[in-house]
Every structure is written in structure tokens, then in C-alpha cells.
Structure 1
Amino acid sequence: MIDLAARPTVRGGALLTAMSVTVLAYSLTQTMLVPTTTVLQHALNTTATWAAWAVLSAPLLASAVLTPLIGKLGDFHGKRRVLLWVLAVFLLGTLGGLVAWDIGSLIAFRAVQGVSLGVLPLVFGIVKESLPADRVTHGLALTSGLVGGAAGLGLVLGGLLVDLLSWRWLFAVSAVLVTAALVLVARSVPESPHRPGGRLDVPGAVLLALGIGGLLLALPLGPTLGWGSAWVLGLFALAVLGLAAFLVVERRSTSPLVDPEVLVDRPVLWIHLAALSLGAAQFVLYVLVPKIAQTGFGTGVTVAGLIMLPGTLVMLPASWLAVRLGERTSLAAGLGCVAAAAGLLALWNGQVWHLVVFYLVASVGFGLVMAVLPRLVTGSVPHDRVATANGVNTVARTAGGAVGSQLAAAILVSGGGYPFAFGAAALVALAGVLLSSGATREGLADQ
């Protein structure tokens, strides 16, 4: 356990600046390419499927597999040290994407960029252990609020850069941010006061990669090959068997990759499931709001992004509101806002103002929930498991995003239409409200 009295002396402002720039580098890179699928398809002479792999599938798959491993390394060997290595690899992938010569090379470099998701559990862990105790709550609210706000800003910025310049400028902007994050972390972040060391659980890492990899490979292949195809069913079976075997191995391991306590023990399990539901509902809206703007109202990529801008701007203020409301209230109210907004979009989406106003309501919910998830996790596990537990929670939200984006696509392809897809997002968010109440019943107190 960490002796909180032995916290390193740091300049809180400098540390929060370093953490904020690190989160910005990750979040903007995550979404800036989302509006560019069609552009990449033509620029690199490829298919829509492979362009989608470059934009979302490759980095998502890599990040989901690597993030728990990165969190564990941070807990073992020091979060600052591991964060610097992650940012260095992130920068290499970004520079590679800048000079990518075909779709294959771009997919490979985007997979390398997938390491960037691992910065989030490290950032949350550094804030928890390095800031004075009375500033931790505000530090977590700022950094977690930036995750959602910057991701939304990335959609707008990506559209602007592609319309005005070139898709390669997206990687140039990202490279500048990652370089700045590297310098700031090296100068302003102290090393973890508690570094127990330990060996990595290689069997656990392999089984986790098979389980998550099988799931995230099956989801994008389903619409293309058919959900009943042998390949897709085989991948789903691999996911189930891999994750089941992973749980068995972790319970028996003396040095597990992910302690069962931060996976399935309550109330942490409820928090992970709430994150999963948030990610699914969030990505349904991320995919459908700009899509309906472009196909339904004939807007360009930039205007579609501007429709989402008001919602993007409220995410950070919503994260500060979460500090006043408390964890339990913010979790339930935030998911309730997302459910209400998606339900309203299912009923009314025939005017541009419907998209603007209802997405803004959803974004308030995004800000509330994303602000409290890391606080709930860090308050529910021992200090020496904070990065690992936040890594699992981040992967849960990311996996939910994969499910949500494919759910939206599958409903539209099947002819269900936008109302049905938005209605599905509302039901997913409502399930999250019920899960948040489950966490409350387990005695999760506001911190």
C-alpha cells in the first residue's frame, strides 16, 4: 500500500498541465480520423472496409489488448516510466501514419497508435498518487472530462483539416501534441512512490488477447461476412473460451495480469458494466449524429462536426458539475441524460436543431459519467492496483464503443432506420442506469 503521507512533492499546476496535454493527444487522435473514412478510401485507392480498419478497427483492437498490460506495468514498475515509453511508441506510430504509403502501412501504424489508450489508466493513477489529497478529485474531474470533450473536438477538427488541407495533417497535429506530452511528463511528473516490481503473467496476457481480440475482430467482420458465417461464429467462440480461461488462470495465478478483484468483485464489476453501457450508447451517437447530418441534410464533414460542437463544449463543465453532485448521483444522472437524449432522437430527428440540442443533452451525460468513472474505480481498489483497475474500466468502455458502432451499422444495414438505432442506444443507456443503482446498493459511497 502507498503511504499517502509520503506523496512526492510536486507542482500541481505543472503536473496537471502535463496530464491534460497527454489526454488531449490521446483523445484527439482517437476521433480526428473518424470523419475521413471516405477520404482515405479514395486517397489510398482502397475499399470502405479497409479504410474503416485504418480509422477505427486496428487501433481499437490493439488498444483493448494492450491497455490492461500497460496498467499492470505501471503498477509494477512506476507509472511515469511506463507513460514515457507508451508516449514514445505512440509518437512512432503517429510519425509512421504521417508518411503511410498505402492502406496496409496505415493500418499497421494505426495499430501502433492503439498503445495510446494505455495513457488513461496511467494518467489517472499519477493524479491519484502525486497530487495533494484535497486536489485529487478536481484533478480526476479535469483529466477524465477532457477525454470526452477532446474526443468530440477531434470530430470537428478532423473535418476542418481534411476539408481545408489533407488527412496527413491529422497525424502532424497529433505528433506535435504527443511530443509536447513527452516533454511535459519528463519535466513535471515524479516517479511512483511505490513500485513493488513483479513478473508479468504471460499466460494471462495471451488468453486476454485471444478473448478481447476474438470479440473485436468478430464485430467488424459480422456485417461483411454475415453473422452466421463460420469465421464470425468461430471468433465469438474464441472470445468466450479465451475470456473464460483467462478468469480461471487469473484466479489461480500468484501474480495475475489482472487481479480478479478488479474484474468481477463487486462493486467494481458494476462500475465496469456501467462503463461498457456508456461506451456502447456513446458510439451509437458518435456514428449516427454526423451520419444523419450528412445523408439526411446534405451537410459536409465540417458542418456535421459543427453540429456536434455545442455538445463537445459542455463536456468539461459537466465534469466539474460532477464534483459537486457526487459519484453516485453523477453516474445515474449522466446515463439518464444519455438515455433521454437518445430516446428523443429516436422520436425527433427531422430538423438540424434536434441533432444539436439532443446531442448537447447526451454530452452533459457523457461528461458526468466520464468524470466519475476513474474516481469510482480508484476509490474501490487498493492504491497499488489503481492503474490496472482503471485500465480494465477503460477497456470496458472501449469495448462498449466497438459494440455500439457495429450495432448502429448493423441496424441501418438491416433497414431498421435511425429511430430504431437511437432507440437501441436509449435502452443500452437505461441498462447502465440500472447497473449504476447496483453499484449504489453495494454500498458505494460518494467520496
Structure 2
Amino acid sequence: MKDRLLALHSSPTTRRSSRLITAILCLSGTVVALQQTMVIPLLPDFPKILGVSADDASWLVTVTLLTSAVATPIVSRLADMFGKRRMMLISMTMIVVGSLVAAIGGNFVALLIGRGLQGFAISMIPVGISIMRDELPKEKVASATALMSATLGIGSALGLPLSGLIFEHLGWPAIFWLSAIVGVLLIIAVAAVVPESSVRTRGKFDFLGAVMLSTALTAILLAISKGARWGWTSELTLLMFVIGIVTLALWFPYELRVTQPMVDLRTSAKRPVLLTNVASILVGFSMYANNLSTTQQLQMPKISGYGFELGVMAAGLCMIPAGLAMVFFAPVSANITKRFGAKITLVVGGTVLALAYIARVFLTGSIALIIISAAVVSIGTAIAYSAMPMLIMRSVPITETASANGLNSLLRSVGTSTSSAVVAAMLTSMVIPSGPGEGLPSIDAFKNIFWLAALAAVAAAAAAAFIPRRGAKPETALRPVTPEGFELPDAAVSETEIVVAGRVVRADSRPIRQAVVTVMDMEGRPIDWSRADNEGNFSLALPRPGRYLVVTSADGWSPRSQVIAFDSAQSTHTVELGDRLTISGKVGVDGRTTSGTVVTLTKPTGEFVASTVTDGTGHYGIALPTSGRYILTALTESGHGTLARQIAVIAQSTVVDFDVPVDAEPLTTV
């Protein structure tokens, strides 16, 4: 038995399949990222080719940005619920369909529809990362995740020269034909190589939450991306901002009340997740400034005093070293994560980004210096991007990794969109005269962009520095073992991993909302955790059937620990919390037990919290409020005696007894 397991564990087929899965997923991510920048070099030519204005042509970039922002959280949530590989195939199909519509249609409307469909595919990157967590050996997750995260920058950098080269030799439809062909090949590869993950969350899809979030994102990103053209104080721009902000203001409380929300805001508010998402916005802002400014800086005419007057394709080719730098440094960032943790990796990435941009302020004298400094920016981006999924996955339930990574990618898109608007504003507001009524961006405009990007990178590193350290991580929990004590091979792990469901209830079988369920193995090592929904339902991903230690807690209830045997994914396990945390005690009047005494709980600031009446034995009980200082007051039934006490409430039951003197003057005691 031992020899067979060891032979299977070291099987070349297993190692080869892991490498192949990683290669296919990363190639898919690169192709998806290409869609973001593939039409940028063609924007100056599209107005003439399609017979539209320059403002209309810019929508070919804007529509992709909007659909990708809307699709990322929705597709990621659906991937957690209905299958990650399935949603990857659907997303890749959208690329193929969008490319065919654009190539065959040949007009502006067809191109606009095609580009919108292509934007749906960007959600493949967070979904692909969650597949890596589910399917790859634990020692390969960090390096594969680093490479998958870097594909966004790699594809964006390579898209600039590639599309320019194809356009010059084969025409613009060839760009979309190539995307369609590559998309079909990747659909076949994903279907043949990537297994469908068994890790799924149960429940209903939050359609209203998805519509509200899509409305808010579309309005806000439209205002950010089009504000420079429409005017930042124009009625349309202000209307978009108002619609977005008001919709978000309604969406947040709705998501907190709905049973199965589109985005778990309580988990997103956890310090590690919140700070990682803040860093994602800042790194996205910093990274995109490099892509937008470098090619423009190289294309500036020599009469500007600092430009090199390169053509579109030559300037795009200068971005290839930046793309390759992300490929080569992805393994380096993975090694930093393995040795020091993802938090340190993110701090290092933000620091490298900041130093690179500071260098860019001064290194403007030659093409070589610009290429080198732009490549260093990409190195910092690769290091920072690789850390974010690891930080997210260690802090959210395993059954929600795709949706959590999707939210992180969405916020990164918010950062890049904001960067695009700021760069455009800088380049159009700080100009030098170049002719009658014309002007060129000054060198100070580019330097100010670099300073802003450096500040954003410093802020990202600072946010990462406050992410709390963790010991053991759920995503690196030990692999399951056989009864003989031998670790199972990775192929067997993927086959035995199960997702189990349960329900947290009180003694009368009514559900307890928002209870937190943590599961550990029998040696106390963390496996997964889950937050029960408003119906008390939860789900957990376990490496195999067996006995586990389950710890359940909820506000106002005594925590409970128990050993549960999870034998299959089909059964539902009920966890009962029977002891309600209370403030309780006995009230006497002049030493004698009495009923009917009114006991009230208020805050020192005057707000009423709760009240009750003592029973026949003089006892009372009030459900435990949130931790803090309170005033507990007793008033006799006759109204002739009262007594108040200040108490401190912590997360455990509190006993406070009263002996109220009759006809005593009401007073407050501490």
C-alpha cells in the first residue's frame, strides 16, 4: 500500500498535468488581457476607417472597460455556485463570439458590440486563480498564482505592439480573426485539460444585487472614463456620479440584509480583505500609468524638447521588455511569498513600484533609460499582483474564493480607470505651444504622472503593512492522509475533496443569522470557515470525508465546539447553539424578593437598549447587547424605589443583582 501511494504521488503524469493546467490557465489569462489593449494603437485610425468621430471611436475601449467591470463580480459569483471551468468556457466563448461579430460586421456598431462581448472574458483571471487553489498541489499554488496574476500586465503590454504589427501587415479585421481562432483553441484546451472543481457554494443567485451593482459600476466608471471629454462639471458627468453613488448607498444595506448576497460585505470588511482591496485599487492606478504614459512619451515629437518621435509600432515594441519582466519575476514573487508571506510580498511590490516611478521622473534622457525604468515598474507590478490573490484566499471561505478574487480584480479595474482619467487630465492640462491653437504635453505633465503613481504605490505598501499576520493558512492546510498515515497524492486529493452543508439553529430550531463556523482537523490545524446566511445555512470545503473539530459562534450566543463526522457532501449537518448570552440577575426590595420590578438597559449617552420585568422569584434576563458600557436600572412595581448601576458588557453573560431600598432617592452609582 505504501509503495503504491508513493509511486502515485511521484507520478510524472501528475506533475505534468499540474504544469499543463497552469500553462493553459495562464495562456488564457494572457489572451484575455490582450483584449484590453489590442485596439488602443488603432484608435487614431478608426475614425477614418469607420467614418466616426474620435470621441465615438474611444467607446471601443470604454465599452470593454464597462462590460469587464460588470461581468467580473457576476461571473466570479456564478463560478463559485455552478462551476469554475464552466464559467471559464462561457467567458472564452464570449471572446470568440465578440471577435467574430467585430470581424464579420466590419462597421462601428458591430465593432462596439464585439468589443463589449470581449470585455466579459476578463473575469477568467480571478476564476482561473481559484481553480489553481482547488486543483494544484499546495507547493505550486503560490508560483502558479503569481504567474496568473501577472498575465494581466503581460497581455496588456504585449497587446500594444502585436496589434500594431498585425494592423500594418494584414489590416484591422485580422486582429479579431486571430482572437477568434486563439479563443477556439483555448476552449478546446480548457475543456480537455482543466478539471471541473468540486468546490461549490449552494444557494440562489442574488439577481437584484447584481443589477444594482452593475448599475452603480457602469455609472461611476462612465463618469470617470468620460469625464475629461464630457467635462468634469457637466450635467451628464455629475448625473452619472449621482446615479452611481445613490445606487451604491442602496446596495450596501440591501446586501447586508439579503440571505445570500452578491458580495459578502461582512467578509469584505475583514481587515486583511479590506486592506488588500484598498491596495489593489492603488496598485492598479500605479500600474496603468506606466502603460498609458510610456508609449505616449516615446511618440512625442522632437520639437517638444524631450520626445523621440517613434512610430506606433516602435513605441509598442518598447513595451515588450516590460511584459517579459513580469514573466521572469513571477517566480521570484512566489518565492518571496513562500519564504516571508504574501503580506511582505505586497509591501515589497509597492516599494519597488514607488522607487521605479521616482527613477522615471529623472530618467527621461534616452529610450533605453525609459525602457529600463518601465520594466522595473512592471517588476514591482508583478510582485504586488502575485500577493493579492494569496492574501484574499487565506482570509475568505474556500467556497467563495472566485467571487472574492473577482471583487479584488474589479477594484483593480476601478484603479486603472481612475488612472486613465488622471493621466488624460494631466496630459491635456499641462501643455507647451506647438503651433497656432495647438499644444503638446509638457515633460512636467509626465513627471507629475510619475509622482502621483509613486504616491499611490507608497500608499499601497502602507496599506499592506497594516494587514495582520497569519500563522497557518487555509489555502496551505496539510493534505489529507490515509489511515496508515501516508499523504495522499494530489490526484487523489482532488477526487476526495468535498463540500458539506449545514445549518446553525437555536434550541427551538429557528435559524441563527451570521454565525461563524470554523472547521479544523483533529490536530487543530485550520481547514476552512464559513459565515451562515440569514437562514442559518453554511457550507465548508473539506479535503476528504472524516471527523473534524467544528467551532461555532454567533453574537449573543455562547460558542460551541464539537466533533462532527462529515461522511459525504449530500448530508446536511445541524449545529445547535443552546445558551443565549444574557445580562441577568435577581432584584430584591429591602432584602425581600419581589416580582414586577422593571429593569431597563440604556447607554451612557442616553439611548434606550432594552427593558424587562422580574418574574415571581425576582429574576430578570436581557439579551446581551454589543460590548461596551451601559446603565442598568431597576424600578419597583410601586414606583417608590429605584437603583441604577453602570456595567461593562463583554462577550459573555453578566450577572447583576439589585437590592433596591424603598423610597430611596434615584441616583446613579458606578
Which residue, 48, 60, 66 being the options, matches 2:65?
Answer: 60
Which residue, 293, 296, 311 being the options, matches 1:300?
Answer: 311
* Greater strand fraction, Structure 1 or Structure 2: 2
Give the corresponding residue for 2:491: none
Q: Is the 8 A contact 1:76 1:195 kept in 2?
A: yes
Which residue, 355, 359, 373 being the options, matches 1:340?
Answer: 355
TM-score of the pair, normalised by structure 2: 0.63
Give the corresponding residue for 1:119: 124
Note the C-alpha offset of 1:137. Answer: 1.8
| Partners of 2:206 and 2:176 in 1: CA distance | 34
Deviates more, 1:265-274 or 1:128-137: 128-137
Map Cα deviations across residues 271-327 of structure 1 (whole Å, 9 max, x no partner).
111111111111111111001111221101111012222121110121110111122
Give the corresponding residue for 1:368: 383
**Distance of aligned partners of 1:91 and 1:197 in 2 relative to their CA distance in 1, 3 Å threshold:** farther
**Distance of aligned partners of 1:145 and 1:220 in 2 relative to their CA distance in 1, 3 Å threshold:** closer
Unaligned runs of 5+ residues in structure 1 are: 1-8
User: Is 1:400 aligned to 2:415, yes or no?
Assistant: yes
Which residue, 181, 195, 198 being the options, matches 1:193?
Answer: 198
The aligned runs of 1:145-294 (5 Å cut-off) are 145-294=150-299
User: Is 1:311 aligned to 2:339, yes or no?
Assistant: no
Note the C-alpha offset of 1:445. Answer: 5.8
User: Is 1:325 aligned to 2:331, yes or no?
Assistant: no
Deviates more, 1:411-420 or 1:124-133: 411-420
Identity of aligned residues (%): 30
Q: Is the 8 A contact 1:328 1:445 kept in 2?
A: no
Q: Secondary structure at the match of 1:198?
A: coil
**Distance of aligned partners of 1:14 and 1:347 in 2 relative to their CA distance in 1, 3 Å threshold:** closer
Q: Secondary structure at the match of 2:271?
A: coil
Mark the structure with the bigger radius of gyration: 2
| Partners of 2:57 and 2:362 in 1: CA distance | 32
| Partners of 1:351 and 1:240 in 2: CA distance | 44
Q: Is the 8 A contact 1:275 1:373 kept in 2?
A: yes
User: Is 1:443 aligned to 2:469, yes or no?
Assistant: yes
| Partners of 1:360 and 1:198 in 2: CA distance | 45
| Partners of 1:83 and 1:197 in 2: CA distance | 19
Q: Is the 8 A contact 1:226 1:232 kept in 2?
A: yes
**Distance of aligned partners of 1:246 and 1:362 in 2 relative to their CA distance in 1, 3 Å threshold:** same
Give the corresponding residue for 1:6: none
| Partners of 2:199 and 2:318 in 1: CA distance | 46
| Partners of 1:164 and 1:319 in 2: CA distance | 33
Note the C-alpha offset of 1:252. Answer: 0.7
Note the C-alpha offset of 1:436. Answer: 1.2
Give the corresponding residue for 1:70: 75
Give the corresponding residue for 1:26: 32
Note the C-alpha offset of 1:372. Answer: 1.7
Q: Is the 8 A contact 2:225 2:420 kept in 1?
A: no
Note the C-alpha offset of 1:176. Answer: 2.0
Note the C-alpha offset of 1:95. Answer: 1.2
Give the corresponding residue for 2:448: 420
| Partners of 1:48 and 1:264 in 2: CA distance | 41
Q: Secondary structure at the match of 2:95?
A: helix
Deviates more, 1:398-407 or 1:322-331: 322-331
Q: Is the 8 A contact 2:352 2:376 kept in 1?
A: yes
Map Cα deviations across residues 312-350 of structure 1 (whole Å, 9 max, x no partner).
111012111011112222211211222222222223323
Unaligned runs of 5+ residues in structure 2 are: 1-13, 301-306, 431-443, 474-670
Q: Is the 8 A contact 2:325 2:375 kept in 1?
A: yes
Residue identity matched to 2:243:
L
| Partners of 2:45 and 2:471 in 1: CA distance | 48
| Partners of 2:280 and 2:291 in 1: CA distance | 16
Deviates more, 1:257-266 or 1:396-405: 257-266
Note the C-alpha offset of 1:199. Answer: 1.4
Q: Secondary structure at the match of 1:297?
A: coil
Aligned residues: 436
User: Is 1:35 aligned to 2:63, yes or no?
Assistant: no
User: Is 1:432 aligned to 2:460, yes or no?
Assistant: yes
| Partners of 1:69 and 1:16 in 2: CA distance | 24
Q: Secondary structure at the match of 1:267?
A: helix
User: Is 1:97 aligned to 2:112, yes or no?
Assistant: no
Map Cα deviations across residues 249-289 of structure 1 (whole Å, 9 max, x no partner).
11111110111134322110111111111111111111110
Map Cα deviations across residues 177-222 of structure 1 (whole Å, 9 max, x no partner).
2112100111112222133332111221111112111111101221
| Partners of 2:147 and 2:287 in 1: CA distance | 19
Note the C-alpha offset of 1:444. Answer: 4.6
TM-score of the pair, normalised by structure 1: 0.93
Map Cα deviations across residues 98-122 of structure 1 (whole Å, 9 max, x no partner).
2233222211211111111111121
Deviates more, 1:382-391 or 1:325-334: 325-334
| Partners of 2:105 and 2:448 in 1: CA distance | 38
Deviates more, 1:142-151 or 1:297-306: 142-151
Cα RMSD of the aligned pairs, angstroms, is 1.7
